């Protein structure tokens, strides 16, 4: 299945796109086993090192010609020019009239200005980081006391989307670095079960809530915050709210109305999208979980990846290579999904985090000119930590007859070093990528079973069930270890990958109007479900569902 390029795309992009279509056609009957057999240097030809990282894409269905064309696509789409626009603070989020300056959040102090609307944003960024550092020192030093004079032992972050997934994922990823005296919990779902099960394990007098909402009006977040407030007030009284709630918001009036001292509200800015906001005050619960020094290392890792992305040519650019390879798989080989397979339990939430980052960013139907796209964008992302996934869905990848590009992530060194575990984990990771590439042909299975003494009749019966087509493309990203610096670089890598793809697809990755539409409809239906207005004007299905829920 091949897609044509949008007629709105530049002629230079169209020319390369058509050449890539031809390259895909010439490769359709070539197996990865053949590509490896024909080139003993395939691994060194199709792998890239950055510092002590290794990106091995030799198991992708590509040739030198393919990669050359993909690099041409980078240049034809003017990726470098768009990087410059982003760094200059231009309103590249054109549908909302906003810049996208998440790179400023990890830009070191004293390393030059980053401008937005002619003003340097770095003083404000580092002012807020210093406030986060001081607050974390108060909590960790047991100087911040609750209403009864006791120190805080548990922190509950109440947010949703980017105000939840980023810090939640990073807190789990950096479990080896957690502060010993603080437990951090996350609540996001509007379903009361999410909040209720967390509160059941806590004591009001030692619990601090972080309410993360830029506008302080997000329905899910504010309902959970109101319920948490009620739980606290029932036990400690109204005056306790100021000592047990802090906010991450820009709406200080609503923060104060809730009962939170505006001095305990941490700011971020409209040039930071929610799914790019981990590096801002949205990361406050992560700071409380692992300490500010480790948060600084996270920022430093992201900044290091920023510098690599800005400077490296496409043939050596890790975010660029991941972006181009996925475009190849999706738009030219016909894959409509990708499996993300981290062989790290600590990275177990990474697939969920990247689902939002990638599919909310690039799940679009029109280009930057508002014209319909003629190519698919943002393949469906799914996955699970290895080795759990091997006992769940790998059967489908091996024998399900779907093209499922796989992305393996592994660490050379473990974050929890229990004897006998890590070598087995790596063996499984590397074996799966090899099996997906090689497969096991019917003739090989037949000879193997016959050599084992099986009768010809049994061989003929069983061999088809035990053969594997292989030829499933995969990439392996091998990291030195999972620490704050590495995690920061890894997350920045995927941010930049998404941006490169958006440039080539000519879409805006920083808005999310599909999300907003669902919120509008929910607000319209709520008074009907509550019985305050009639069901008139609804379609029969929606009206019927509401009617069925009435007592």
**Catalytic residue from among 119, 412, 519, 547:** 519
Q: Do 350 and 173 touch, CB atoms closer than 8 A?
A: yes
**Residue 166, CA distances (Å) to 159, 286, 308 in order:** 11, 9, 22
Contacts of 357 (CB under 8 A, 6+ apart): 275, 276, 494, 495, 498
**Catalytic residue from among 391, 412, 421, 424:** 391
User: In a 10 Å sphere around its CB, with 0-12 CB exposed, 13-18 middle and 19+ buried, how is residue 275 labelled?
Assistant: buried
Told to judge if 391 belongs to the known catalytic residues of this protein, a careful annotator would answer: yes
Output the CA angle 129-135-140, nearest 5 degrees.
125
Residue 381 parent element (H or E): strand 380-383
Q: How many whole angstroms separate alpha carbon 246 and alpha carbon 266?
A: 8
Report the 10 Å Cβ neighbour count for 412.
13
Computed on alpha carbons and rounded to an integer, the radius of gyration of the chain in Å comes to 26
Return the closest-CA partner of residue 337 out of 400, 406, 429, 409: 406
Return the closest-CA partner of residue 101 out of 118, 110, 113, 88: 88
Q: How many whole angstroms separate alpha carbon 289 and alpha carbon 157?
A: 11
Q: Do 282 and 167 touch, CB atoms closer than 8 A?
A: yes
**Catalytic residue from among 128, 360, 384, 407:** 360
Q: How many whole angstroms separate alpha carbon 342 and alpha carbon 86?
A: 30
Q: How many whole angstroms separate alpha carbon 78 and alpha carbon 54?
A: 26
Q: Do 58 and 43 touch, CB atoms closer than 8 A?
A: yes
Q: Do 357 and 494 touch, CB atoms closer than 8 A?
A: yes
Return the closest-CA partner of residue 353 out of 475, 517, 477, 490: 490
Residues noted as catalytic: 360, 391, 519
């Amino acid at each position: 299945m091949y897609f044509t390029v949008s007629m709105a795309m530049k002629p230079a992009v169209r020319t390369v796109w058509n050449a890539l279509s031809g390259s895909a056609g010439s490769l359709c009957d070539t197996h990865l086993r053949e590509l490896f057999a024909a080139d003993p240097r395939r691994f060194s030809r199709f792998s890239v090192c950055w510092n002590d990282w290794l990106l091995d894409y030799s198991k992708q269905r590509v040739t030198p010609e393919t990669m050359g064309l993909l690099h041409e696509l980078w240049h034809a789409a003017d990726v470098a020019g768009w990087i410059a626009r982003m760094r200059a603070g231009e309103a590249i989020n054109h549908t909302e009239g906003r810049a996208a300056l998440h790179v400023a959040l990890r830009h070191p102090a004293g390393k030059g200005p980053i401008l937005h609307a002619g003003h340097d944003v770095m003083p404000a960024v580092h002012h807020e980081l210093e406030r986060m550092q001081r607050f974390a020192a108060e909590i960790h030093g047991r100087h911040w006391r609750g209403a009864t004079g006791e120190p805080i032992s548990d922190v509950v972050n109440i947010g949703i989307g980017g105000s939840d997934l980023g810090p939640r994922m990073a807190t789990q990823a950096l479990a080896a670095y957690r502060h010993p005296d603080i437990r951090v919990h996350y609540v996001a779902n509007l379903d009361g079960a999410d909040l209720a099960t967390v509160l059941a394990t806590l004591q009001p007098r030692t619990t601090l809530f972080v309410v993360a909402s830029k506008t302080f009006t997000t329905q899910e977040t504010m309902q959970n915050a109101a319920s948490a407030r009620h739980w606290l007030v029932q036990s400690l009284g109204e005056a306790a709210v100021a000592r047990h709630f802090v906010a991450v918001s820009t709406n200080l009036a609503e923060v104060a109305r809730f009962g939170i001292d505006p001095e305990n509200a941490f700011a971020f800015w409209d040039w930071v999208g929610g799914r790019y906001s981990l590096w801002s005050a949205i990361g406050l619960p992560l700071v409380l979980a692992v300490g500010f020094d480790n948060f600084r290392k996270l920022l430093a890792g992201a900044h290091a990846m920023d510098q690599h992305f800005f400077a490296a040519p496409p043939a050596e650019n890790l975010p660029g290579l991941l972006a181009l390879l996925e475009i190849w798989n999706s738009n030219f080989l016909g894959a409509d999904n990708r499996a993300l397979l981290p062989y790290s339990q600590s990275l177990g939430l990474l697939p969920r985090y990247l689902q939002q980052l990638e599919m909310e960013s690039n799940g679009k139907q029109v280009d930057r000119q508002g014209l319909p796209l003629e190519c698919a964008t943002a393949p469906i992302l799914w996955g699970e930590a290895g080795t759990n996934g091997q006992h769940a869905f790998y059967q489908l990848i091996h024998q399900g007859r779907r093209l499922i590009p796989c992305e393996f992530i592994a660490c050379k060194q473990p974050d929890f070093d229990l004897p006998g575990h890590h070598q087995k984990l790596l063996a499984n990771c590397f074996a799966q990528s090899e099996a997906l590439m090689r497969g096991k042909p019917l003739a090989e299975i037949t000879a193997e079973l016959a050599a084992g003494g099986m009768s010809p009749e049994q061989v003929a019966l069983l061999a088809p069930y035990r053969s594997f087509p292989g030829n499933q493309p995969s990439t392996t990203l091998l990291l030195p270890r999972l620490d704050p610096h590495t995690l920061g670089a890894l997350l920045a890598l995927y941010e930049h990958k998404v941006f490169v793809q958006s440039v080539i697809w000519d879409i805006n990755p920083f808005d999310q109007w599909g999300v907003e539409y669902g919120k509008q409809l929910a607000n319209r239906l709520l008074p009907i479900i509550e019985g305050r207005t009639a069901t008139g004007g609804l379609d029969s299905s929606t009206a019927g569902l509401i009617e069925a829920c009435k007592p």
